[in-house]
Amino acid sequence: TFDAGAGISVRPHPHIGLATVTYLFDGEIRHRDSLGSDGVIQPGAIKWMTAGRGRLLSERMKEGGMREGGSLHGLQLWVALPAEHEEAAPAFRHYPASDLPRFDEGGARVSLLVGEAWGRRSPVATFSPILFAVADLETDATLAMPEAEELGVYVVEGNVAFGSAQVEGPALVVLDGAQSLTAIGKAKVALLGGAPLDGPRHMWGNFVSSRRERIEEAKRAWRERRFDEVPGDPEWIPLPE
């Protein structure tokens, strides 16, 4: 929650080797990037940004929000791309809330944002089998866990129970055999999972790669300003030293 004159204003910065997935519960963010993309992310929608071989982007609250203050609440996931797609062409896809499956499941209101679960499929295109869903649960509601090779639950708000184990949000739980969760009072959770990575990843700041030398190359490109600029947003974050 921001006072007047404050807010999120992330200057143009580069990424490689990953995709960022942004989902908002409240507020708005303007996304601009070196491909010329310029759009406002609103609650309920999905923004999938493939960095691949490299791109520059900025993320800022709308100017009215910066002047007047207000709230911003959401999640941004960083998805490592499979090694064969780490150098994919950069891309930006926006999926409005109306395109994403929303349904009731065991007393929970579920939004299936990415992947396949509970007999439904999201239209969001991915490079590997992954799952991202958000559920709002009423008191004592029970949600069956979907099938996934790896699965975690991020408790956004409230308290939930996995059998006799209770978790108070905000907290991330990596599941190991739990079949369901039950809300203790109202709760909001995000389910995150999918297939395991095809090998280890190195990470430095905004850069993710299976090869350390690729990260060093990207650092040099950032320092030398060899990434394409964001049209209409000429600011620049220097390489952290």
What number of CA atoms fall less than 13 Å from residue 128's CA on the CB side? 21
Q: Please report, for residues 92, 100, 121, 184, the alpha-carbon distance to residue 143 in angstroms, rounded to integers and kept in the order given.
A: 32, 19, 18, 12
Q: Whose structure tokens read 């609650």?
A: 43
Q: What is the CA radius of gyration of the chain?
A: 19
Give strand pairing partners of 171: 155
Amino acid 186 reads K
- Find tokens 């991330």 and name the residue: 172
**What pLDDT sits at residue 65?**
58
d(CA 227, CA 119): 42
Amino acid code (one letter) for 49: M
d(CA 241, CA 232): 27
CA atoms within 13 A on the CB side of 58: 23
> Which residue, chain included where needed, has tokens 């055999």?
177
Spatial separation of the C-alpha atoms in residues 175 and 34, rounded to whole Å? 38
Secondary structure element (H or E) that encloses residue 136, with its range: strand 130-137
> How is residue 136 written in tokens?
């709002």
Of 192, 121, 114, nearest in space to 153 by CA: 192
Q: In one letter, which amino acid is 84?
A: E
The position carrying tokens 């299976």 is 210
- For 100-129, the pLDDT digits (tens) are 999 999 889 999 999 999 999 999 999 999
Closest by CA to 158, choosing from 133, 181, 176, is: 181
Is the CB of residue 18 less than 8 Å from the CB of residue 81? yes
Per-residue pLDDT of the chain (241 residues; tens, 9 = 90+): 988 888 888 999 999 999 999 999 999 999 999 999 999 999 999 999 999 999 999 999 876 556 777 889 999 999 999 999 999 999 999 999 999 999 999 889 999 999 999 999 999 999 999 999 999 999 999 999 999 999 999 999 999 999 889 999 999 999 987 799 999 999 999 999 999 999 999 999 999 999 999 999 999 999 999 999 999 998 989 998 8
- Which residue reads 């791109």 in tokens? 55
Contact 175, 181 (CB under 8 A): no
